[in-house]
Structure 1
Amino acid sequence: MNFKLKMVFTDLDRTLLRDDRTISESDYTSMLRLGQLGIIRVIATGRSPYSVRKVIPESFPIDYIIFSSGAGIYDWRSQKIIRRHHLSSRQVAQAIEILLERNTDFMVHAPIPENHRFYFHGDGEDNSDFHQRIKLYRKHALPLLLPATINKSCQIIAIFPGTCYREYLKIMDCLTGVNVIRTTSPLDHRSHWMEIVPEEVSKALAAAWLAEDLNIPRENTMGIGNDYNDEALLEWTGTSFMVANGPAELKEKFRCVSSNQENGFSEAVNAELETLSDQ
């Protein structure tokens, strides 16, 4: 069979990973099948390389990882970073000033490849998700000393409780010269994360760069995700799917498959391969 599908992009948390952060046998087998068909397999995640390795073993059958929401690309086979972006010192300073003015809880991440390390600021009052993330990375997190002088940063993440989306929007309107990516917290699944990254950074832009580098047309790609930070990627890929545990508005926008708990990734892959084999 001459499949037109050449490249598959999948989100990681709550898409390929189940809620217990494991991958089902079915989805693992689907990854193997894609490799046997010569289809490039890419995980596109908000996680850093350090965080990815906590849930994906080195032997896992993938080819590339788009990490930190597109700030970098990792060649999984050679275990080398092949692309990276950073916020400049000016961009970091401007963002910090705005976040401080709005009394926002935030983290400033170190440059790649140490971007699992971060400085944090905020009292975290009524913001348990903020404290939970600091606790999770307690060995790699330090308080931000003011006035702050930071040369460059992979990204800045501001965390808003689920009831504070209006405040999120107000701050987003104040930020210029950067890209703002909306993400539902992978920790409590309610809080809003604002990822502040360079303008040229997103999962979609990283996917487009990688596909062009590998001479793969956009129409020969497939994507699957579960959240707002996947939306631009799924708008870019030739065929796109949203797992059933995604937001209602995105399930209306993209073809819906089963949840991450019920092998949604495999369902999407099988549907696409069957469609192409019938053509």
Structure 2
Amino acid sequence: MNIKMIACDLDGTLRPLSAEFSPRLKKVVTQVQESGIRFVLATGRMFRSAEPFARELGIRDAIICDQGGTIRDAHTNTILFEKRMPLELARDVLVHLPTDVAVLVCLDEEFYVPRLTDMERSFTESHQKHLHQIPDIATWLPKDPQKIAFVVEPDDAPALLANLRARYGDLAQVVRSHARFVELTHRDVSKGKAVEWLAQYWNIPREQVLAMGDQENDVSMIEWAGIGVAMGNAIAEAKAVAQFIALNDDQDGAAIAIEKFVLNGGV
């Protein structure tokens, strides 16, 4: 298979949680791009949070952010595609906020919270100057946000996910992006649709796209790509739609998979 485009999740795929990129991965990303293959970072993070990692890896092509709601040129930072959550829907979500969960409203690369708990602080520790407390956030919200993220204990995430899907499943994309994160975006947004958009933008056939990830929000792109790879540490839903299972994120699984399927041409 002559792969022309690679789309990879960040946390839990290219980068083990709370760890650094491996030298092997950095070398592989460089080799891939030098050979003319498009390399795309596909993450649920906002651009502000994702860009330093893309820069460290030397990614030159594109960054998919906000669960697929934003696509930026990695070289110029220009927005190539954007689809935000409708304002009235976002306000409704915020009016009906559960009282026992932390929430982050992501708007124009800033974080807004109705209450500032230790949980919000812990997940925005490196972005404190971009964190703003707005008590009456539903009334204040001035325009369409990129997304709304809920942060809960892992054991509480399935129930929250089910409740949000029951209420907003026809109106928004509701995904679990991390053991502790449940996120809402525009209903037509997903990593899979963003990868498809970029492939069409670059005139690359689906069969020549490889996508790799580990969480529920990666399922759409793993399923859409010509070669779909789930990490060894991936959830069952991601593994179920993948054609291949890589080693774990802390075993250089992503780098080894790219070497096998792209640089060495083996399927």
Q: 2:84 aligns with which of 86, 89, 96?
A: 86
**Which region of structure 1 is more displaced relative to structure 2, 251-260 or 208-217?**
251-260
What is the CA distance between 1:196 and its match in structure 2? 0.8
> Structure 2 counterpart of 1:40, which letter?
R
* Residues 18 and 59 (structure 1), Cα distance of their counterparts in 2 relative to 1, 3 Å cut: closer
Tell me if the contact between 2:195 and 2:221 (Cα under 8 Å) persists in the aligned partners.
yes
**Which one has the bigger helix percentage?**
2
- Deviation string 1:34-82 (CA, Å, 9 cap, x unpaired) is 1232211111011222112333436714411101111111111233221
Query: Paired residue for 2:140?
Result: 149
Tell me if the contact between 1:15 and 1:225 (Cα under 8 Å) persists in the aligned partners.
yes
What is the CA distance between 1:222 and its match in structure 2? 0.3
Q: CA RMSD in A?
A: 2.4
Query: Paired residue for 2:28?
Result: 30
CA distance in structure 2 between the partners assigned to 1:59 and 1:270 by the alignment: 16
What is the CA distance between 1:270 and its match in structure 2? 2.1
Compute the TM-score of the two structures, normalised by the length of structure 2. Answer: 0.88
What is the CA distance between 1:253 and its match in structure 2? 4.0
Superposed counterparts of 1:7-86, under 5 Å: 7-57=5-55, 60-86=58-84
Name stretches of at least 5 consecutive residues in structure 2 with no aligned partner: none
Tell me if the contact between 1:219 and 1:239 (Cα under 8 Å) persists in the aligned partners.
yes
CA distance in structure 1 between the partners assigned to 2:29 and 2:229 by the alignment: 16
Name stretches of at least 5 consecutive residues in structure 1 with no aligned partner: 185-189
CA distance in structure 1 between the partners assigned to 2:234 and 2:32 by the alignment: 24
> Structure 2 counterpart of 1:268, which letter?
A
How many residue pairs get matched? Answer: 262
CA distance in structure 2 between the partners assigned to 1:108 and 1:33 by the alignment: 37
Compute the TM-score of the two structures, normalised by the length of structure 1. Answer: 0.84
What is the CA distance between 1:208 and its match in structure 2? 0.7
Quick check: 1:242 aligned with 2:230? yes
Tell me if the contact between 2:29 and 2:39 (Cα under 8 Å) persists in the aligned partners.
yes
CA distance in structure 1 between the partners assigned to 2:171 and 2:255 by the alignment: 39
Quick check: 1:258 aligned with 2:252? no
- Deviation string 1:245-272 (CA, Å, 9 cap, x unpaired) is 2224433442211122221112211221
CA distance in structure 2 between the partners assigned to 1:258 and 1:234 by the alignment: 16
**Which region of structure 1 is more displaced relative to structure 2, 217-226 or 15-24?**
15-24
> Structure 2 counterpart of 1:178, which letter?
A
Tell me if the contact between 2:121 and 2:128 (Cα under 8 Å) persists in the aligned partners.
no
Superposed counterparts of 1:1-279, under 5 Å: 4-57=2-55, 60-100=58-98, 104-110=101-107, 114-115=108-109, 117-122=110-115, 129-146=119-136, 148-150=139-141, 151-164=143-156, 165-175=158-168, 176-184=170-178, 190-191=179-180, 193-254=181-242, 255-273=244-262, 276=265
